[in-house]
Structure 1
């Protein structure tokens, strides 16, 4: 029987500005990529998100990013590797404090936005993030794009790696994500996305923008919490997977709901 983790980016509100419906998504996902205050989130938001995730048995991951609140972490920053290592250490530690106060802990690390995309190919920045995770806790798994430099270097450093796929993002024929600057980079039809996810999980393939079929190996599926209709999307994806006989459960073997 196929098993898949369902994750979403959460904790991205800031002050009086609300982004997404975290409470509703926490009833649907099995892992939560929680912002750490650099690209989104503030201390009150992060504490609330960790508490709600813990209440629902959702696994908490640290979603680390560039120091870029204004750009939501979606702008590449040519930061020195040593500085990036320290930035990532800072973020993991901050979120882990809130998770521990909530009775749990950070269980994995996933980069966000431009950092996620940069370390698909950027050796120096990928190595910097690997060093941060290894230094903080070498037992923490890391999540990322299959075939990326990031996952290769993490595996070489002895870290457990979790390849993921994106439910609501378009793919290139090379198996990478279509840039958000391009039209139709984000998919919005819940039924279409749900069927696509069944194919991805049960057959290990996804249809690229040019119509070609691309092999994708994934242990987790991401539904973006900041997308319009994110809750309906996640509900459709989870429901369709379960009807297809797929077990939706955390990749870390936590409770299935």
Structure 2
């Protein structure tokens, strides 16, 4: 059994430092790097790509709405054409830094409000997949694991894109399988042991316990730890330790049209 452990990174901006990227990098297998719209800037993007490449961590773009003040967590009324262009712009920027460092971009994970708005929204899922496809169809697309996995995967596949499903050990869930709004109490989990126990349940049982205790089935190939969580380093380390103790292998997400994406980097899955 294996799973990817990813983290949202590169979220500092100018003189403002957010997250402990240099510490958490050793515990994860994939990095989702902010592309300058909700967080990050060219210097931060460059440093974070280099950091991930130097540690053999798979690199993904983390594009969001143009909303620095709201950290990309506010819904925006944008047309699908605008969203496609926002994504193309951001993915292309991070892809350029990957090329500069002699590595390859592997996946795209929409950020914040854009990510959440796509849940159950067929038109938005298709638009995101189209934006990714026009940059590079080999890129994986990351989406929230839930009851609609099959339908969302089929929509992305029609655009030539493979969907990878994600779960969040450090976030609370509703009984419907969506993430609890950050505006509500207990939406974010800070206790590393609690998050690790949730991660183990997600991977080995395919279940997450909702805020009211309801067991919600999900199937996820990657788990996310938020870099802006003050306990992010401890969360990632504890989750990894608990999973590996249970016999789970941590390795980058793989798949898509070109399986070599996961085989030509450090830490790639072994040949079967």
In structure 2, what is the Cα distance between the partners aligned to 1:181 and 1:71? 13
Give the deviation of 1:122 after TM superposition.
3.1
In structure 2, what is the Cα distance between the partners aligned to 1:134 and 1:239? 36
In structure 2, what is the Cα distance between the partners aligned to 1:150 and 1:52? 32
Counterpart of 1:6 in structure 2 is 5
Runs of 4+ in 1 over 6 A off after TM superposition: none
In structure 2, what is the Cα distance between the partners aligned to 1:192 and 1:16? 33
Contact kept, 8 Å, 1:249 with 1:255, in 2: the verdict is: no
List runs of 5+ in structure 2 lacking aligned partners: 255-261
Counterpart of 1:183 in structure 2 is 185
User: Is the counterpart of residue 138 in structure 1 residue 137 in structure 2?
Assistant: yes
Contact kept, 8 Å, 2:126 with 2:159, in 1: the verdict is: no
Give the deviation of 1:152 after TM superposition.
4.3
TM-score (norm 2): 0.91
Give the deviation of 1:181 after TM superposition.
1.1
Distance 1:150 1:43, change over 3 A: farther
Give the deviation of 1:112 after TM superposition.
0.3
Contact kept, 8 Å, 1:74 with 1:113, in 2: the verdict is: yes
Pick the aligned partner of 1:204 from 203, 206, 211.
206
Alignment of 1:204-223 (within 5 A): 204-223=206-225
Contact kept, 8 Å, 2:196 with 2:242, in 1: the verdict is: yes
Contact kept, 8 Å, 1:162 with 1:219, in 2: the verdict is: yes
Contact kept, 8 Å, 2:106 with 2:139, in 1: the verdict is: yes
Alignment of 1:217-232 (within 5 A): 217-232=219-234
In structure 2, what is the Cα distance between the partners aligned to 1:196 and 1:107? 27
User: Is the counterpart of residue 82 in structure 1 residue 81 in structure 2?
Assistant: yes
Q: Residues 198-226 of structure 1, C-alpha deviation per residue, up to 9 Å, x if partnerless?
A: 11111111111111111110000000000
Counterpart of 1:117 in structure 2 is 116
Aligned residues: 256
> Which stretch has the larger CA shift, 149-158 or 199-208?
149-158
Counterpart of 2:44 in structure 1 is 45
TM-score (norm 1): 0.96
Q: Residues 17-59 of structure 1, C-alpha deviation per residue, up to 9 Å, x if partnerless?
A: 0000011111111000000001100000000000010001100
In structure 2, what is the Cα distance between the partners aligned to 1:166 and 1:64? 18
Alignment of 1:95-106 (within 5 A): 95-106=94-105
Contact kept, 8 Å, 1:119 with 1:150, in 2: the verdict is: no
Give the deviation of 1:150 after TM superposition.
5.2
Q: Residues 111-162 of structure 1, C-alpha deviation per residue, up to 9 Å, x if partnerless?
A: 0000000011333333221211111111111001122675442123221110
Counterpart of 1:25 in structure 2 is 24
> Which stretch has the larger CA shift, 109-118 or 192-201?
192-201
In structure 2, what is the Cα distance between the partners aligned to 1:185 and 1:234? 18
In structure 1, what is the Cα distance between the partners aligned to 2:126 and 2:245? 40
Counterpart of 2:55 in structure 1 is 56
Contact kept, 8 Å, 1:145 with 1:151, in 2: the verdict is: no
Please provide the CA RMSD for this pair: 1.4
Counterpart of 1:107 in structure 2 is 106
In structure 1, what is the Cα distance between the partners aligned to 2:202 and 2:127? 31
Counterpart of 2:157 in structure 1 is 155
